[in-house]
Amino acid sequence: MFSLGDVIHFYSNEAGKDKFHLCISLENHFVFLNSPKRQIYPGDFVVACSEIPCLTPTPSGESIISCTLVMKKSDSDLQCLGAKKVGSVSMNLMARIATFVRSSPVLTEDEKDAFCEAAGDWI
């Protein structure tokens, strides 16, 4: 339904509210896009808001791609959750995220593999 790098807005059961998500696979795998918070965690990839031009910039000028929870949604789940594409990010950014994930100290090898497998040969 969505493509690698698409920025999707839908109700997140995991967060209990509407959220923006980044699609990291052609099989509907997603991670959260977050506004900056007081504490940045080791699994957070911080980027300039200009790298996600479809979202309103934050006061700090940064957005966070949370790489610690990969969610898989079926097409029917996404439809029920009201998923809508709002834009996309560059493949360069997707490649940088994959590099970050591969070196993450907070993800298990299985989690790293799952994240990178989701992106496959696209990056």
pLDDT digits over 55-105, tens only?
999 999 999 999 888 889 999 999 999 999 999 999 999 989 988 888 888
pTM: 0.89
Identify the pLDDT of residue 104: 84
Query: E strands of 3-108, at which residues?
Result: 6-12, 17-23, 29-34, 44-48, 62-72, 84-88
For residue 75, give the H/E element and its range. Answer: helix 75-80
Q: Could you tell me the two tokens for 50?
A: 């200009």
Identify the pLDDT of residue 120: 61
For residue 77, give the H/E element and its range. Answer: helix 75-80
Level-2 CATH architecture, domain 6-113: Roll (2.30)
